[in-house]
Structure 1
Amino acid sequence: MIRPPSRETAPRAAWLDTPERYGRVSRGFHWLMAALFAWQFAGALLYVTIGDTTLTRLVGGSHFTLGFTLLVLVLLRAAWGLANRRRRHGGPGRAATAGHALIYLLMILIPSLALLRQYGSGKPFAPYGIPLMPARETKIAWMMHPADLFHYWLGFTLLAAVIGHAAIAVLHRRLWNEPVLQRMT
């Protein structure tokens, strides 16, 4: 016989993932990062569509710091996900696994390339006033080149993957009556 959680374990269990639902920490990571990525994509799309304007600088002015923040969050989220993997739903299919792997790869690769470029540029980087990279007089071209080539395009690839991710979650509910989205809301 399965017993309901006791009053002592119920609050703790709400923070952890279960087969029926992601816990508060996983949901917090997911929706906080979704909001921050929406801001990042808004800034990028504004820049591409209307160029360098006051509005673009307002929205995009936090791009570097926010990108660093998202990298830290995705690493924490990945660690939390690995710690909770045995508690989670039985497991997604191959397509879902590949889609999630692509999204995580891009969420790590894109800001990593930007940090490599920042270091190579010789410019200082101090997110939230924390000095991570001091200024240097010389540039290191090979460090700047990968981000110059790929950061922009990989960013829009991530946007497409995120839109696909959201669309598939809705389709799971509408077409197959599977509560995929409800596990994360």
Structure 2
Amino acid sequence: MASQDTPQRYGTFTRLLHWSMAVLIGWQFLSAIAHYGFEDSAFEALFWPSHKPLGLILIVLVVLRLLWAAKNLANRPPAVNLLAKLGHLGLYALLFAVPALALLRQYGSGRAFEPFGITLMAGGGDKIEWMVDLGSLLHGELGWVLLAMIVGHIGMAFLHRKQAGQINVLPRMWGQ
């Protein structure tokens, strides 16, 4: 079945999760840059309002992707080496932790969270300082660490493609 992973390449569903998350993550970083670098501009007005709702979608996709990866673990292409395996585990950890910290901060703030008009956090509760402080301390910083790891991930995929004697890993995720 094309949707299943194989030892040679990732299946359709894995690739769909990977590339849809890549687009959403790109949008998230554009929104963060817009918010912190272009405050009160049309650029910020375009990107920033979607930051929290898309962050929620990303954490749902991360959980879905982890469950799917666990289901396909025996069928997936093998890691190129131990560092690649550890890098992917680090990416997964940050992809979960960054939005989880934002949700923790949101809950601790006592403010409502209603992405797409759906009430997930009603708000009106007391502020829980440790949740706000932890989220404020780590969400943004770990987000930039995630960006650095993503740049490294992309760089290593191209390095493996071009370097003699290395496994060309791009066809696994391109679907070629």
Aligned equivalents of 2:40, 2:139: Cα separation in 1: 18
Equivalent in the alignment of 1:20: 8
Deviations 1:108-153 (A, max 9, x none): 1111111011011111112222211111142111110111111111
Moved more, 150-159 or 51-60: 51-60
Give the structure-2-normalised TM-score: 0.94
Is residue 29 of structure 1 aligned with residue 14 of structure 2?
A: no
Q: Which amino acid aligns with 2:169?
A: V
Equivalent in the alignment of 1:9: none
Equivalent in the alignment of 2:169: 180
Q: Which amino acid aligns with 1:140?
A: I
Aligned equivalents of 1:91, 1:121: Cα separation in 2: 41
Q: What are structure 2's unaligned runs of at least 5 residues?
A: none
Moved more, 56-65 or 175-184: 175-184
Equivalence map 1:99-138=2 (5 Å): 99-138=87-126
Is residue 157 of structure 1 aligned with residue 145 of structure 2?
A: yes
Moved more, 68-77 or 42-51: 42-51
- Deviation of the 1:105 alpha carbon: 0.7
Q: Which amino acid aligns with 1:98?
A: L
- Deviation of the 1:29 alpha carbon: 0.2
What secondary structure does 1:51 align onto?
coil
- Deviation of the 1:19 alpha carbon: 1.0
Aligned equivalents of 1:161, 1:101: Cα separation in 2: 11
Contact 2:80 2:167 in 1 (8 A): no
Equivalent in the alignment of 2:129: 141
Structure 1 runs (4+) deviating above 6 angstroms are none
Once the two structures are aligned, what percentage of the paired residues are identical? 43
Aligned equivalents of 1:133, 1:57: Cα separation in 2: 24
Aligned equivalents of 2:77, 2:150: Cα separation in 1: 21
Deviations 1:148-180 (A, max 9, x none): 111111111000100100010000000135220
Moved more, 43-52 or 142-151: 43-52
Equivalence map 1:40-79=2 (5 Å): 40-79=28-67
Higher Cα radius of gyration: 1
Give the structure-1-normalised TM-score: 0.89
Moved more, 24-33 or 117-126: 117-126
Aligned equivalents of 1:101, 1:184: Cα separation in 2: 17
